[in-house]
Amino acid sequence: MNEIAARDNGGLSTSNNNGSSKIRVALVYGGRSGEHEISVRSADSIQAALDPARYEVLPFFIDKSGKWSPNVLSPEPGANPGIDVVFPALHGTFGEDGTIQGLFEMADLPYVGAGVLASAVSMDKAVTKKLCAQAGLPVVEHCILHRGEFDVEAFAPAFAFPVFVKPANLGSSVGITKAKEPAELREALKLAMQYDSKVVVERGIAGREFECGVLGGDVPSASTPCEIIPSQEFYTYEDKYLLDKAKIELPAKLSPDQTEEMQRLALGCFEAVGCEGMGRVDFLMENSSGKLYINEINTIPGFTSISMYPKMFAYSGITYPALLDTLIAIALKRAKSRQQTQYSK
Ligand SMILES: Nc1ncnc2c1ncn2[C@@H]1O[C@H](COP(=O)(O)OP(=O)(O)O)[C@@H](O)[C@H]1O
Ligand SMILES: [Mg+2]
């Protein structure tokens, strides 16, 4: 029986190629992005939490230069008969941005998380904002600049300083500057443009920062939100990964109405970008107005046992192993539904 036939047998069913009753999960991790190390830690936690009685884990490590070991996944349908589902535990570029999801699609392999389009859209802060705004969701005032199409020396935003300058497609706060005056803006634009040809400049929000998890399925659900209290002027790369000084408040200190509103917006954002499986929606709340803004959505949020996505769901009553079970079940169900799609006449 080949991979496709195995899935014809019921998606979540227990039969597969080797006759064993376990679901064979290809855990793809590492990768070329700046979040390589965090991906390795996410994968360790996922592997440790997958019930060995139900799952067989097949690790696929991608090193920083992009080399796979022990093997590569073949892009041909049916050519990976030993795999029932792929769990991409990759963050950032070439993992969270739709590129590797394209490989899984070509290979007809079920995979956890967002599809190609939602992954690519969510990776791009400019496109995410466009889709959210179009869905009537609140995003911060911003403008989008393309390398070579504007004068770095003369550019002035239409809103007051401070402004945040960001490469459109990246993560971990890399290439992001909080510019407090025009003189700082020039350097900030140059830095961001080193990382992407598209740059987002947005009004800086003086306020609080929150995260809210979304778990997909027939009816997506939102987690209890948490608050991030950076130890630096904003939540920088150092603050995220090196300093260990940022504080997390779970549950976030919010009124029931505010919590409900955040969850509603998180689900709205998840839907607006067409996300599936999982997503962590990040928010800014302005002190002066109390207004809530969607900052971004991450389609493969950190998955270490101490990462906020699993922690928020644990607080909401879904344990880490149960979260993995659900994500894998969603992936298998989606793959089954996709089999009904016809690709030619
Ligand atoms: N408009 C803004 N106002 C205030 N702080 C911001 C704004 N945009 C980003 N930040 C700060 O910068 C951090 C990183 O920005 P973010 O857009 O989340 O990029 P990344 O994808 O790298 O995490 C945020 O966590 C927040 O601390
Ligand atoms: Mg962020």
Is residue 230 lining ligand 1, measured as CB closer than 6 Å?
Answer: yes
Residue 214's pLDDT is 98
Q: Is residue 312 part of a domain?
A: no
Instruction: Please give the positions annotated as active site.
Output: 35, 172, 241, 280, 282, 296, 298, 302
Does 214 lie in the same domain as 67?
A: no
Q: Is residue 104 part of a domain?
A: yes
For residues 41 and 150, which has the higher predicted lDDT (pLDDT)?
Answer: 41
Does 243 lie in the same domain as 130?
A: yes
Residue 151's pLDDT is 84
Does 188 lie in the same domain as 126?
A: no
Does 249 lie in the same domain as 129?
A: yes
Does 270 lie in the same domain as 133?
A: yes
Q: Give how many domains the chain has, as a whole number.
A: 3
Domain around 295: 121-138+206-299
pTM for this prediction: 0.92
User: What confidence category does residue 29 fall into, taking pLDDT thresholds of 50, 70 and 90?
Assistant: very high
Asked if 35 and 171 touch (Cβ cutoff 8 Å), the reply is yes
Q: Is residue 315 part of a domain?
A: no
Does 225 lie in the same domain as 106?
A: no
Is residue 163 lining ligand 1, measured as CB closer than 6 Å?
Answer: no
Sign of CA dihedral 208, 114, 93, 82: positive
Angstrom distance (rounded) from CA 43 to CA 177: 30
Does 228 lie in the same domain as 130?
A: yes
Does 11 lie in the same domain as 66?
A: yes
Is residue 164 lining ligand 1, measured as CB closer than 6 Å?
Answer: yes
Q: Is residue 295 part of a domain?
A: yes
Is residue 296 lining ligand 1, measured as CB closer than 6 Å?
Answer: yes
Q: Please give the number of the atom of ligand 1 that sits closest to the Cα of 205.
A: 3
Residue 189's pLDDT is 95
Residue nearest to ligand 1 atom 21, measured at CA: 171
The 10s digit of each residue's pLDDT in 279-318 is 999 999 999 999 999 999 999 999 988 899 999 999 999 9
Name the percent of the chain in helix, strand, coil, to the closest 5: 30, 25, 45
Least confident among 22-31, 79-88, 301-310: 301-310
Does 10 lie in the same domain as 108?
A: yes
Residue 11's pLDDT is 35
Best residue for ligand 1 mutational test, from 38, 161, 173, 297 (most atoms within 8 Å of Cβ): 173
Residue 19's pLDDT is 59
Residue 240 has pLDDT above 90, yes or no: no
Residue 8's pLDDT is 32
Is residue 56 lining ligand 1, measured as CB closer than 6 Å?
Answer: no
The 10s digit of each residue's pLDDT in 180-218 is 999 899 999 999 999 999 999 999 999 999 999 999 988
Residue 225's pLDDT is 98
The 10s digit of each residue's pLDDT in 114-131 is 999 999 999 999 999 999
Asked if 176 and 164 touch (Cβ cutoff 8 Å), the reply is yes
Peptide bond into 251 cis (omega under 30): yes
Q: Is residue 269 part of a domain?
A: yes
What is the whole-number distance in angstroms between the Cα of residue 270 and the centre of ligand 2?
15
Does 199 lie in the same domain as 210?
A: no
Residue 173 has pLDDT above 70, yes or no: yes
